[in-house]
């Protein structure tokens, strides 16, 4: 019961609104955990559209294996950063922020910050692992990061909570083409902000990954509808300008 109340409170308290409603909609593409395939095949597809993405990194996964797939290397991250992509924090240990103690969470965030500094990677915003947060972790993240991204699905119209930015899964196995098109049309028409998130980019992805075809199709539609395609931090600057 406490958790439920806390989740309810987290959604409705501690907000800092970003006004949307520009003439153009914005679409952002983000990749959580950053499998090596997102840095390679994913970036290859983004490059075809002169688009930059946002990559949420856990230093604890660097050079590791996750879901039987290779994760990014430090060199991958440095390449992304040097080529205009955004690198954000995803905790060091892929921590569930709704379950961890605040003390443990702060240590984990600091560990990831140290990892970024050690490798000269500029850190921007934060994405909650599993999209899991509660009120204390939302407030603590708001003190450390300019923005926090959750999951939740759908697009954002009118305004967005900078400390709980909503994002839509881009998963080949479960996100159908009609959903993508409808969300994109709504975003373009109403000057909203649609943030996609995925993991690996592969011709044979698991349940939490996308294919190059699905990613390319989303990019093509975004451009056809006249949307800006921007990393999350740059999208915030766009809406503030
Ligand atoms: Zn994750």
Task: Write down the pLDDT at residue 7.
Answer: 67
Calculate how far, in angstroms, residue 97's C-alpha sits from the geometric centre of ligand 1. Answer: 11
In a domain, 4, yes or no: no
3 within some domain = no
**What is the structure's pLDDT at 212?**
98
Give residue 223 CA to ligand 1 midpoint distance, Å. 27
pLDDT value of position 1: 45
Q: Spell out the residues 6+ positions from residue 156 whose beta carbon is closer than 8 angstroms to its own.
A: 20, 165, 166, 192, 193, 194, 195
The domain of 19 spans 12-240
Contact by Cβ (8 Å): 32, 94: no
Distance 34 CA to ligand 1 centre (A): 8
Expressed in angstroms and rounded, the spacing between residue 57 Cα and the centre of ligand 1 is 8
Number of domains in the chain: 1
pLDDT in tens, the chain (241 residues): 455 566 667 777 778 999 998 789 999 999 999 999 999 999 999 999 999 999 999 999 999 988 888 999 999 999 999 999 999 999 999 999 999 999 999 999 999 999 999 999 999 999 999 999 999 999 999 999 999 999 999 999 999 999 999 999 999 999 999 999 999 999 999 999 999 999 999 999 999 999 999 999 999 999 999 999 999 999 999 999 8
- What's the pLDDT at 126? 98
Ligand 1 center–CA 72 separation, angstroms:
13
What spacing in Å lies between the alpha carbon of 189 and ligand 1's midpoint?
31
Decide if 6 is inside a domain: no
Residue 7 forms part of a structural domain: no
Distance 152 CA to ligand 1 centre (A): 14
Residue 5 lies in a domain: no
Please tell me the predicted confidence (pLDDT) of residue 2. Answer: 54
pLDDT score recorded for residue 68:
83
Q: Residue 158 falls within a domain, yes or no?
A: yes
End-to-end CA separation in angstroms for the chain: 42
Cα–ligand 1 centroid distance for 22 (angstroms): 30
Domain membership of residue 103 (yes or no) is: yes
Helical (H) or strand (E) element with 45: helix 43-48
User: According to the model, what pLDDT value does residue 69 have?
Assistant: 87
Task: Establish if 227 belongs to a structural domain.
Answer: yes
Output the CA 217–ligand 1 centroid distance in Å. 23
Q: What is the CATH number of the domain that holds 37?
A: 3.20.20.370
Q: Helix 135-144 and helix 2-12: axis angle, to 10°?
A: 40
Find the 37 Cα to ligand 1 centroid distance in Å.
15
> Sign (positive/negative) of CA torsion 110, 95, 215, 24?
negative
């Amino acid at each position: 019961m406490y958790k439920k109340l806390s989740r309810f409170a987290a959604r409705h308290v501690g907000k800092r609104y970003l006004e949307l409603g520009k003439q153009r909609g914005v679409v952002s593409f983000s990749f959580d955990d950053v499998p090596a395939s997102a840095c390679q095949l994913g970036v290859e597809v983004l490059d075809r559209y002169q688009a930059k993405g946002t990559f949420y990194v856990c230093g604890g996964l660097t050079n590791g294996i996750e879901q039987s797939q290779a994760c990014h290397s430090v060199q991958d991250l440095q390449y992304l950063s040097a080529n205009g992509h955004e690198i954000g924090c995803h905790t060091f240990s892929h921590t569930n922020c709704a379950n961890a103690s605040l003390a443990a969470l702060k240590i984990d965030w600091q560990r990831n910050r140290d990892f970024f500094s050690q490798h000269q990677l500029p850190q921007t915003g934060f994405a909650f692992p599993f999209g899991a947060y509660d009120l204390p972790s939302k407030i603590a993240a708001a003190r450390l990061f300019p923005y926090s991204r959750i999951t939740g699905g759908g697009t954002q119209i009118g305004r967005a909570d900078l400390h709980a930015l909503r994002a839509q899964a881009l998963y080949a196995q479960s996100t159908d083409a009609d959903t993508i098109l409808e969300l994109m049309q709504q975003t373009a028409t109403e000057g909203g902000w649609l943030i996609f998130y995925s993991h690996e980019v592969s011709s044979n992805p698991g349940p939490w990954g996308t294919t190059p075809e699905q990613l390319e199709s989303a990019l093509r539609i975004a451009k056809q509808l006249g949307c800006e395609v921007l990393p999350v931090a740059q999208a915030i600057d766009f809406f503030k300008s």
